[in-house]
Amino acid sequence: MSYLFTSESVSEGHPDKIADQISDALIDNFLAFDAESKVACETLVTTGQVILAGEVKSKTYLDVQQIARDVIKKIGYTKSEYMFEANSCGILSAIHEQSQDINQGVDRTTKEEQGAGDQGMMFGYATNETENYMPLALDLSHALLIELANLRRENAEITYLRPDAKSQVTLEYSDDNKPQRIDAIVISTQHDDFDEEATMLAKIKSDLISILIPRIKAKYPQYAHLFNDQITYHINPTGKFVIGGPHGDTGLTGRKIIVDTYGGKGAHGGGAFSGKDPSKVDRSAAYATRHIAKNLVAAGLADEILVQVSYAIGVAKPTSINVVTYGTSKVGLTDGEISKKVESIFDMRPYFIEQRLKLRNPIYSETAAYGHMGRKPENVTKTFRTPNGEEKTVSVELFTWEKLDFVDKVKAEFGI
């Protein structure tokens, strides 16, 4: 019998995502001027207020208030009626020096022996149900909000959109786990005030179905066949959504970890990503396990793969590596045997993860909205400035963990 599966996403203007983007902008600025920076930065946003807190070890000095304001402005909080505005919100910094007790477990005389920044387990997942090896419901949820943000910035076809929004997609799967159709779509979008609430709700629903959905089908033709006349649409189901963003809900770094990863598919170890430099394996090892899972599936080893790795704080070698193929393996090996071979292909010590995926570069701002996984690797040039006028322009490679650069090695090792 067929079954339903649902994933959700949130926009860049969602309060939790504002917090993530500010935290990751700080990471990028620290790494741009000191690649060895150790940073754990949390952000809280609420009505007219931003609070920054965390621990830093770095040779550089930054204007953290200006960095936060630039992020808020870029997202689109530029009007006083939002009750949270880039130029006028208060910003309090409680960032202090990293604990020496923690630092001594990470830094080593020999870089290769760099210890894990914390204990814990991390997961990476991949499935061949989409071209980018991501779960389809999450991929569609992200796509809806990316395109909604494009419409907001264009301010042409739809002129009343505000930055805060959420989406949710429910798919129907067949018995053999193949997506058949979209069963339901939920979109809640913040908007300007209307004179008549009934008129407002009708227009928003009409615009999103007649403007947003056709743009999604055109931009993602591989998914067009999943749309049908029987989709249940819940557009702003609570009604009026004028009060939103940090004025409507307090936002915190790291509260959208399932949106950031696989939308409920696979598994998650529990650690957040944003605001952490790559010595924190919560982030770097999660990227590395995604890299492994994607390359294994792309090589044809299995249709669906979950990779788990675990660490002890201050210890370089993982305490475990485990690969689960959900019974979809195409090679005559057990999951345990596959795990052993994977361990020989991918060095999962923190220093080697950082080197393999080029994680000591300022590449994190782009990860902080619309998912850390399933994104397109690309080279970009970025410019950073310090309060004393120092400027640095760097060319970096984004989303290196999405590269299919180990497919040939995997095929050779497994005889595929």
Neighbour count for residue 251 (Cβ, 10 Å): 26
Question: Does residue 94 have a known ligand-binding role?
Answer: no
Q: Which residues pair with 392 in a beta bridge?
A: 384
Tokens of 339: 């795990």
Question: Does residue 21 have a known ligand-binding role?
Answer: no
Q: How far apart are CA 352 and CA 282, in angstroms?
A: 15
Question: Does residue 276 have a known ligand-binding role?
Answer: yes
> What is the rounded (10 degree) CA torsion for 262, 268, 270, 272?
-40
Q: Answer whether 214's CB lies under 8 Å from 240's CB.
A: no
AA letter at 335: D
Tokens of 159: 């002129």
Question: Does residue 14 have a known ligand-binding role?
Answer: yes
Residue-level pLDDT at 105 = 52
Task: Encode the chain in three state secondary structure.
Answer: CCEEEEEEEECCCCHHHHHHHHHHHHHHHHHHHCCCCEEEEEEEEECCEEEEEEEEECCCCCCHHHHHHHHHHHHCCCCHHHCCCCCCCEEEEEEEECCHHHHHHHCCCCHHHCCECCCEEEEEEEECCCCCCCCHHHHHHHHHHHHHHHHHHHCCCCCCEEEEEEEEEEEEECCCCCEEEEEEEEEEEEECCCCCHHHHHHHHHHHHHHHHHHHHHHHCHHHHHHCCCCCEEEECCCCCCCCCHHHHCCEECCCCHHHHCCCCCCCCCCCCCCCECCCCHHHHHHHHHHHHHHHHHHCCCECEEEEEEEECECCCCCCEEEEECCCCECCCCCHHHHHHHHHHHCCCCHHHHHHHHCCCCCCCHHHCCCCCCCCCCEEEEEEEECCCCCEEEEEEEECHHHCCCCHHHHHHHHCC
Residue-level pLDDT at 195 = 84
Neighbour count for residue 198 (Cβ, 10 Å): 9
Tens digits of per-residue pLDDT, 186-217? 999 999 998 888 889 999 999 999 999 999 99
Neighbour count for residue 170 (Cβ, 10 Å): 19
Question: Does residue 408 have a known ligand-binding role?
Answer: no
Query: Which residues 6+ apart lie within 8 Å of 81 measured at CB?
Result: none
User: Which residue positions in the chain have pLDDT lower than 50?
Assistant: none
Q: Answer whether 324's CB lies under 8 Å from 306's CB.
A: yes
CA distances from 176 to 4, 19, 365 (A): 13, 40, 38
Residue-level pLDDT at 114 = 86
Residue ranges of domains in the chain, CATH in brackets: 3-10+136-243 (3.30.300.10), 15-100 (3.30.300.10), 120-128+259-414 (3.30.300.10)
Tens digits of per-residue pLDDT, 250-279? 999 999 999 999 999 999 999 999 999 999
**In the chain, what percentage of residues exceed pLDDT 70?**
97
Question: Does residue 55 have a known ligand-binding role?
Answer: yes
Q: HSE on the CB side for 200, CA within 13 Å?
A: 18
Question: Does residue 196 have a known ligand-binding role?
Answer: no
Question: Does residue 180 have a known ligand-binding role?
Answer: no
Task: Answer positive or negative: Cα dihedral of 36, 70, 55, 397.
Answer: negative
CA distances from 84 to 76, 159, 166 (A): 10, 20, 19
Tens digits of per-residue pLDDT, 286-328? 999 999 999 999 999 999 999 999 999 999 999 999 999 999 9
Question: Does residue 256 have a known ligand-binding role?
Answer: yes
End-to-end Cα distance, the chain: 33
Residue-level pLDDT at 109 = 62
Question: Does residue 166 have a known ligand-binding role?
Answer: yes
Tokens of 130: 């989409």
Residue-level pLDDT at 106 = 62
